[in-house]
Amino acid sequence: MAFKMSHFFLVSIAVVLFLFFFLQNSFAIETTWEERHHHLVQTSSLLPSSSCSSSTQGSKRKSTLDVVHKHGPCSQLNNNGKANSVETHSDILNNDKERIKYIQSKLLSSSNNNNNNKMKEIELDSSSANLPAKSALPFGYGNYYVVVGLGTPKRNLSLAFDTGSDLTWTQCQPCAGSCYKQIDEIFDPSKSTSYNNITCTSPDCTQLLSATEINPGCSRSTKACIYGIRYGDGSFSVGYFSSEQLTVTPTDTIENFLFGCGQDNEGLFIGVAGLLGLGRHPISFVQQTSQKYDKTFSYCLPSTSSGVGYLTFGSTNNNDVSYTSSPTASHGHSFYYIDILGITLNGTQLPISSSLFSSAGAIIDSGTVITRLPPTVYATLRDSFQKGMSKYPRAEPFSLFDTCYDLSGVEDLSIPQINFVLAGGVTVELVVPGILYTISSKQVCLAFAANRADTDLTVFGNVQQKTLEVVYDVGGGRIGFGSNGCN
């Protein structure tokens, strides 16, 4: 039983490293676990192998999509040279800073939302870029994607999936403003028999404001509803708010699915065709498909970028899931909140007050890479972790990380186990790739970072979620965690 609060484990872990180099900076680590008091997850590697390992658990389930890391060997996005070049670790972590800024700004703007709902009449053409990009920084938004079908006949689109936003959108012909490079053919609504514009008088159009924090516009000529959405560092998509047939799996189709048909899209989304919004707002995929999937989905992110995870819609068949309640917040209505009570390191509860988490709140997010903790909490975790790792040589800090080790000469590695204790008696045990972020064998870092202030929102990121089955029971107001969801 992986998630039991009753025991705090005294665990020491022996990890044997077999290193071999297969690419410039890449190598694979084989690990075997030994522990004294309790079983732990076994990990086969800390780093991706050069080949894609096919889907395991996911393929056996209903209504399930494969989840692929954008930069791993299973990704179609980098491999055939059509999209932008591979992001480095430093790009990924810099983009993650923008992600955090986006989340913080979303909280601010939704609490300041003045509901001044005046719709402007505009025309979308090459001169209409009404949401100028502030910078052309590559914005690797969301690092996992799924493939869905859109339109009749259906076209495959690779969409980044994102529990931190609500609107689903894809780039659309004729790209009146501009489209960035993507791998799939850009969706052409004029070639689909099931495409419809939403009119600007429709209530569907009006509710965009609370989902995007931007007033929708109205096309002067056709009275079509125009959405705009902006992310992080000025990346945006603007276009027609539309409905289409969405094919989730060959047997699951959704009629009249509301999505953004983007005519002006900027801020390199690195090869994906758009975004699948899995937030809590009424226009999110979760709410639009509530009849079919009962506002429930779950995913598992693989331990390395060479693995394949899954995204399943509808209830899970995994009985070994522990649930914690997901309180609804007065603001930040897309986000999934969790109540973090504390953190244990090697079986010992860290001396931190749970009010540090509860004051600003904590969310779980599929699109944030590295968990952000209140600075006071981070400092305590880091100091204890460093004590437990004192026998290993330190390495230079890297980007967000201040605690790194040179493990190139280390064969047997013993790292302190880190668990998150959540409300409702749920303990989330992190696997090794959820504790250590490997830049190279000479630079393996504690995979956490501090927020600017203790009053900033805590974000439980996707590195820490690796191999867990994370269940979002949105109707039931709870989030579940199961171990060994995928490899």
Ligand X SMILES: *[C@@H]1O[C@H](CO)[C@@H](O)[C@H](O)[C@H]1NC(C)=O
How many CB atoms neighbour CB 25 within 10 A? 11
Binding-site ranges for ligand X (CB under 6 A): 10, 12, 147, 156, 195-197, 219, 221-222, 224, 240, 346, 388, 414, 416
- What is the distance of C-alpha 43 from the center of its chain? 22
CB of 208 to ligand X, least distance (A): 16
User: Six-digit token pair at 219?
Assistant: 């096309």
Phi, psi of 243, rounded to the nearest 5 degrees: -130, 150
Largest CA distance in the chain: 71
Least distance to ligand X from the beta carbon of 408, Å? 20
**With respect to ligand X, which residue has the nearer C-beta, 416 or 482?**
416
Q: Rounded to the nearest whole angstrom, what is the least distance from the CB of residue 420 to ligand X in the complex?
A: 18
- Using an 8 Å Cβ cutoff, are 117 and 215 in contact? yes
- The nearest distance, CB 225 to ligand X, in angstroms, is 9
- Of the pair 195, 293, the CB lying nearest ligand X is at 195
Q: Could you give the CA distance from residue 201 to residue 391 in angstroms, rounded to a whole number?
A: 66
The span from the CA of 102 to the CA of 402, in Å, is 23
162 is catalytic: yes
| For ligand X, the closer CB: 223 or 331 | 223
Q: Which of 91, 96, 162, 456 is catalytic?
A: 162
Q: What is the DSSP letter of 249?
A: E
Q: At its nearest, how many Å lie between ligand X and the CB of residue 124?
A: 7
- Residues contacting 383, CB < 8 A, separation 6+: none
Classify burial at 336, counting beta carbons within 10 Å of its beta carbon; exposed 0-12, middle 13-18, buried 19 or more: buried
Contact in structure between 131 and 238 (CB atoms under 8 Å): yes
Strand partners, 299: 311, 470
The 448-450 sheet, strands edge to edge: 336-338, 362-364, 458-460, 371-373, 448-450
User: At closest approach, how far in Å is the CB of 336 from ligand X?
Assistant: 27
Q: Provide the minimum distance between the beta carbon of 88 and ligand X in the complex, in angstroms, as a whole number.
A: 28
HEC-encoded secondary structure of 259-284:
EEEEEEEECCCCECCEEEECCCCCCC
**Nearer to ligand X (CB atom), residue 210 or residue 219:** 219
Question: Quick one: 9 or 460, whose CB is closer to ligand X?
Answer: 9
**Alpha-carbon distances, residue 318 vs 4, 148, 443 (angstroms):** 16, 24, 36
For residue 185 the two structure tokens come to 């053919």
Question: Is the CB of 72 or the CB of 232 nearer to ligand X?
Answer: 72
User: CA quadruple 290, 209, 149, 461: dihedral positive or negative?
Assistant: negative
Query: Smallest Cα–Cα separation from 434: which of 409, 415, 407?
Result: 415
CB of 329 to ligand X, least distance (A): 36
In angstroms, the CA 348 to CA 10 distance is: 8
Q: Which is nearer to ligand X, 329 or 436 (CB)?
A: 436
Cβ distance to ligand X smaller for residue 224 or 439 = 224
Among 184, 204, 339, 365, the one annotated catalytic: 365
Return left, alpha or beta for 424; rule: phi > 0 is left, psi -120 to 50 is alpha, else beta.
left
**What gap in Å lies between CA 266 and CA 135, rounded to an integer?**
10
Is 320 annotated as catalytic?
A: no
Active site residues: 162, 365
